[in-house]
């Protein structure tokens, strides 16, 4: 008794990754694939040179067809631009699709004002309240969800780096002054057609968002209510993102500036706190850093897997905590997380279809 699923936007990089993961999923059966834009129907293999035979054989890859998708699928994944997702999600739900899993940012920010500010060109109706699909944070809200907003890749890394911080600060007796997220991102984040030509992108450290990255709003909203506040009473968080010469993968360094009150307890191991916090999580690996050829966390050690690797360091010199998180933006930062959240939605083991080890070195 498998569940029929569809992928709209199957020609992009996240769409291709969804196909790769769904190919081997034991409970979800692919019944619909389509493009986000108009265009001639083409075989999957023409678009995704790695994909040979698969459950997509015989499925026409033509323009999005809401009615057909709704007829054949209980779940539809949207790997579409946000303005397309904003239109398709309500339509699919209205047609009776049980669950829409949207990989775009169309429904990530729950507060309408925040959404309007950061996505002014993405007007959205709110067909149903969306659940922010980070299972490590919103696991309880996923069963029964009808609309799941899959988090951004940098946001996923930053949030998973930050979740244990509140408890750690309490144990250390430290107060948080400010947070700066310094992200490094691979070129797949820009999509198959949106990125720079190789000649211009290879060998860069390109400050494409020195400030004002949209994921900062996602991170802030996700952390609101988790107890973490800066000394100004809110959650003062800056974010800068750099494009580096990397295909898959993002890394974030969260620099948390702390104030030392009277009786700070320096002796508590930050690494140990993080390890305890994530002990039960299947996909978050707390890494021990080692000097040598392979200091961790590094996105290179997560390629192709749904892992997010995390480490925490206490910089006593500078009264600073450094939290580093790395993941594959097409898996834990995209298609993999979408599948994990969808597994949770249906009460399945979260790692169903997601057990592959990373490919290393690649």
User: Where in the sequence numbering do the catalytic residues fall?
Assistant: 153
Nearer to its own copies, 208 or 346 (CB): 208
Nearer to its own copies, 144 or 295 (CB): 295
At closest approach, how far in Å is the CB of 308 from its own copies? 12
CA dist., res. 348 & res. 293, Å (int): 38
Instruction: Give the SS3 label for residue 324.
Output: strand
Nearer to its own copies, 38 or 317 (CB): 317
Nearer to its own copies, 71 or 320 (CB): 320
At closest approach, how far in Å is the CB of 72 from its own copies? 23
At closest approach, how far in Å is the CB of 139 from its own copies? 21
At closest approach, how far in Å is the CB of 127 from its own copies? 30
Q: How many other C-beta atoms can be found within 10 angstroms of the C-beta atom of residue 328?
A: 30
User: What order of strands is seen across the sheet that includes strand 75-78?
Assistant: 62-63, 28-35, 3-8, 75-78, 99-102, 147-149, 131-132
- What does R_g of the chain's alpha carbons equal in angstroms? 20
CA dist., res. 106 & res. 83, Å (int): 7
At closest approach, how far in Å is the CB of 99 from its own copies? 25
Nearer to its own copies, 33 or 311 (CB): 311
Q: Identify which of 239, 9, 187, 173 has the alpha carbon closest to the alpha carbon of residue 103.
A: 9
Is residue 136 left, alpha or beta, with left meaning phi > 0 and alpha meaning psi from -120 to 50? alpha
CA dist., res. 218 & res. 235, Å (int): 12
Q: How many other C-beta atoms can be found within 10 angstroms of the C-beta atom of residue 253?
A: 19
């Amino acid at each position: 008794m498998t569940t029929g699923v569809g992928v709209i936007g199957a020609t992009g990089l996240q769409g291709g990754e969804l196909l790769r993961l769904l190919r081997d999923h034991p409970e979800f059966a692919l019944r619909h694939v389509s493009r986000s834009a108009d265009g001639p129907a083409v075989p999957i293999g023409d678009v995704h040179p790695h994909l040979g035979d698969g459950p997509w054989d015989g499925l026409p890859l033509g323009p999005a067809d809401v009615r057909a998708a709704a007829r054949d699928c209980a779940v539809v994944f949207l790997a579409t631009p946000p303005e397309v997702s904003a239109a398709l999600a309500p339509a699919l739900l209205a047609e009776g699709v049980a669950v829409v899993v949207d990989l775009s940012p169309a429904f990530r920010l729950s507060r309408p004002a925040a959404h309007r500010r950061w996505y002014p060109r993405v007007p959205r109706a709110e067909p149903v309240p969306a659940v922010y699909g980070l299972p490590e944070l919103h696991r309880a809200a996923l069963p029964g969800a009808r609309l799941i907003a899959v988090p951004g890749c940098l946001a996923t890394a930053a949030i998973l780096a930050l979740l244990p911080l509140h408890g750690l600060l309490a144990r250390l007796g430290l107060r948080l002054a400010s947070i700066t997220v310094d992200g490094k991102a691979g070129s797949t984040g820009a999509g198959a057609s949106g990125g720079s030509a190789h000649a211009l992108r290879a060998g860069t450290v390109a400050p494409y968002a020195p400030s004002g990255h949209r994921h900062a709003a996602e991170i802030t909203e996700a952390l609101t209510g988790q107890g973490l506040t800066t000394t100004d009473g809110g959650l003062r968080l800056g974010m800068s993102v750099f494009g580096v010469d990397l295909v898959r993968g993002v890394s974030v360094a969260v620099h948390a500036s702390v104030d030392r009150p009277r009786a700070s307890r320096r002796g508590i191991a930050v690494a140990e706190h993080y390890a305890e916090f994530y002990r039960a999580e299947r996909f978050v690996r707390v890494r021990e850093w080692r000097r040598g050829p392979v200091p961790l966390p590094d996105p290179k050690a997560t390629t192709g897997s749904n892992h997010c690797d995390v480490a925490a360091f206490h910089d006593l010199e500078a009264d600073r905590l450094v939290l580093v998180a790395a993941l594959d933006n097409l898996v834990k930062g995209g298609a993999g997380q979408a599948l994990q959240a969808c597994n949770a939605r249906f009460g399945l083991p979260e790692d169903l279809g997601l057990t592959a080890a990373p490919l290393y070195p690649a």
